Structure 1
Amino acid sequence: MPVPRDERVPRAEPAEDAPVGVVPRKPGWQPRRPVVVSAGSAARFAERVRMRRRIRRDRVLAWSAGGAVAATLAWLLLVSPVLALDPAHVTVRVRGDRAVVDVAAVTAVLTHQAGTPLPRLDTVGLRRQVLDVPGVRAASVARAWPHGLVATVVARDPVAAVPAAKGYTLLDADGVQVGRSADPPSGLPVVSVPLGDPAAMQAVLLVLQSLPSDLAGQVTGASAKNQDAVSLTLSDGSRVEWGSADRSALKAAVVETLRGSPASKGVKVYDVSAPTLPITRS
């Protein structure tokens, strides 16, 4: 609906004193002034830019230097001959009967790694190889910086000799063959058990292992018809009917007591298969 002419808003007329061609300003309007950057602000901005660039450059240099150092250390430890194994610095130490262990074979296992840097050596794998050498019961292998290895070997000490086709086979307490001898070895009992009866042999070895040193030194032979009928021969010709390997500590104490009493004179047989009821026979 058109607005009546009389109600229309009157047009603003220019002021009488306004210059010709100048548009009057709206009430409250202010002209926009240009942003003025001072010389001090520009300098601070430039300094911040230079600082950021310097920080990035320093980081790149630090990373590059760290990588170079790591690469140098890796080459020095894992590749270079600076820490390489020298066969002249390989040492083998034997605990027990040295004659039982083939020291040359143990040394060969270690020197086979000559020229390998020590940090790269697998000492656990070398230990397993040393344990495979005949006569070795236990072993440890350690690095000896900067060029050596030290192997400490525990020998399998023989506790008995078993007659064989040519001479005697020497066995340790576990029944493992640790050597051979053409003649009956001095200080070791000669064991006789039925062929194909490992239980009887194991019983004899358990009894021999449990003997106190004084009594063990008097044993010259041992036999077993089965695992429950072990018999020991002593140096004075008497015999000990031991029975099974059970309660061996008590049986050994009973034998030593009986042999130490005056009544033991002329006794040829000590039966301690029932150690609480021992029997002696002349």
Structure 2
Amino acid sequence: MRPPARPRAAGTARPRPADEGAARQERGAQEPDRRGRDLQEEARPRPAGRVPARPRQDPQDPPSRPSRPDRPARQDRPATGTTPSAGGRVGVVSDQLADRLAERTAMARYRVWRRIGWTALTVAVVAGVVWAAFFSPLFALDPDQVRVTGEGTTVDVGEVRDAATAEAGVPLPRLDTVGLREEILAMNAVKNVRITRSWPDGLAVALTSREPVAAVPQPGDVYALMDAEGVRVATVEKVPKGLPAIVTSLSDAGAGKRALDAALAVLGALPTELASDVKTVSAATQDDVRTTLSDGRVIRWGSGAEVPLKTKVAQTLLRAEPTATTIDVSSPGLPVTH
């Protein structure tokens, strides 16, 4: 009679692999006998103090492990970079990676060539602009487009124009306006000049001329035309109409020069209506400047200081006392009339 099977402890069930069925069928006939022998061995009394022997395990049986309900069964994971599915999946991933690498290489090459193309285009445009501005006839100076203004009555316009048109054919960006300005300033009667490029092929020359305010007698029966700053503008044989002559003492060159400067300072500060009425100017010293008007009246200015204030006082007295022959404004705060 077969003894009843001994119940197993909870949680000690031995897992069986899925492929164990074939082995079970092969040793199916031997399994009852082996189990019976194992039960008899366990039921046989053992001496005290001896450790019960472990049941023998068939080499063909898989090792038993206690199951752990709190930990899921371990599953075999595929190696990194591979897919265990059938159908050549690993080869497909490799092909996709190669395609992406080739695409990245092509994009990098495209960016390089695009940068090279834009750089070449920029260089070509800059070179074209430089050539058109500095070397082509597009902005070359046209002599017919040169304009000269402000020449006054003493500047030789033809000489100024010749100096400007000597640069005809030179592109305006390359035109040396500084050198041209110095050349024009060296001309007689030119006080100042401003040169402006008139695009695309013109030039504007604005002059400030030195206008004479008096004629100063010179040895040889000639007269030097002087402006308000004492610069000789021209030399003539006769005093021009409407221009007063200055009589100074030439015994002392230094004193005569200071007297002449004082007389020119007075004439240069006079308003147009009063300056045009002056017939002669005398300056015995730098502190005794006198002007004689066309009606014979004399204005004593003293030195060349405070001329604007002295002018206002003199004009007021000329209107207030038309019969006075001499008006002394050397001290504008205390004018005197005779």
Q: Is TM more than 0.5 here?
A: yes
Instruction: Tell me, yes or no, if structure 1 residue 107 matches structure 2 residue 161.
Output: yes
Cα distance in 2 for residues equivalent to 1:139 and 1:52: 60
Instruction: Tell me, yes or no, if structure 1 residue 277 matches structure 2 residue 334.
Output: yes
- Could you say if the C-alpha distance between residues 270 and 38 of structure 1 is closer, same or farther in structure 2, counting changes exceeding 3 Å? same
Instruction: Tell me, yes or no, if structure 1 residue 89 matches structure 2 residue 145.
Output: yes
- Could you say if the C-alpha distance between residues 270 and 39 of structure 1 is closer, same or farther in structure 2, counting changes exceeding 3 Å? same
- Supply the RMSD in Å over aligned alpha carbons: 2.4
Cα distance in 2 for residues equivalent to 1:31 and 1:213: 110
Alignment of 1:147-226 (within 5 A): 147-164=201-218, 165-195=220-250, 196=253, 197-226=256-285
What secondary structure sits across from 1:38 in the alignment? helix
How far off is 1:166 after superposition?
4.4
- Could you say if the C-alpha distance between residues 242 and 32 of structure 1 is closer, same or farther in structure 2, counting changes exceeding 3 Å? closer
How far off is 1:31 after superposition?
11
Larger Rg: 2
Amino acid at match of 1:118: L
1:119 pairs with one of 145, 149, 173: 173
Amino acid at match of 2:113: R
**Could you say which residue in structure 2 is the equivalent of 1:54?**
110
Cα distance in 2 for residues equivalent to 1:69 and 1:254: 69
User: For each residue in 1:82-124, what CA deviation from the matched residue of structure 2 results, as whole angstroms up to 9, or x when unmatched?
Assistant: 21112222111125x2x30011121122112122111111323
Amino acid at match of 1:258: L
- Could you say if the C-alpha distance between residues 224 and 41 of structure 1 is closer, same or farther in structure 2, counting changes exceeding 3 Å? same
How far off is 1:259 after superposition?
2.4
Amino acid at match of 1:69: V
Cα distance in 2 for residues equivalent to 1:34 and 1:189: 111
**Could you say which residue in structure 2 is the equivalent of 1:252?**
311
- Could you say if the C-alpha distance between residues 46 and 273 of structure 1 is closer, same or farther in structure 2, counting changes exceeding 3 Å? same
- Could you say if the C-alpha distance between residues 68 and 240 of structure 1 is closer, same or farther in structure 2, counting changes exceeding 3 Å? same
What secondary structure sits across from 2:205 in the alignment? strand
Amino acid at match of 2:216: V
Cα distance in 2 for residues equivalent to 1:250 and 1:83: 52
Identity of aligned residues (%): 41
How many pairs were matched up?
A: 252
TM-score (norm 2): 0.68
What secondary structure sits across from 1:231 in the alignment? strand
What secondary structure sits across from 2:150 in the alignment? strand
Cα distance in 2 for residues equivalent to 1:33 and 1:127: 83
What secondary structure sits across from 2:195 in the alignment? strand
Amino acid at match of 1:257: T
- Could you say if the C-alpha distance between residues 147 and 166 of structure 1 is closer, same or farther in structure 2, counting changes exceeding 3 Å? farther
How far off is 1:137 after superposition?
1.4
Gap regions ≥5 residues in structure 1: 1-15, 18-29
- Could you say if the C-alpha distance between residues 44 and 149 of structure 1 is closer, same or farther in structure 2, counting changes exceeding 3 Å? same
How far off is 1:33 after superposition?
8.4
Q: Tell me whether 48-57 or 80-89 shows the greater mean CA deviation.
A: 80-89
Tell which has more relative contact order, 1 or 2 (C-alpha 8 A, sep 6+). Answer: 1
Amino acid at match of 1:213: T
Cα distance in 2 for residues equivalent to 1:200 and 1:250: 20
Cα distance in 2 for residues equivalent to 1:71 and 1:249: 59
**Could you say which residue in structure 2 is the equivalent of 1:137?**
191
Amino acid at match of 2:310: K
Cα distance in 2 for residues equivalent to 1:214 and 1:81: 51
Amino acid at match of 2:149: R
How far off is 1:51 after superposition?
0.7
What secondary structure sits across from 1:72 in the alignment? helix
Amino acid at match of 2:312: A
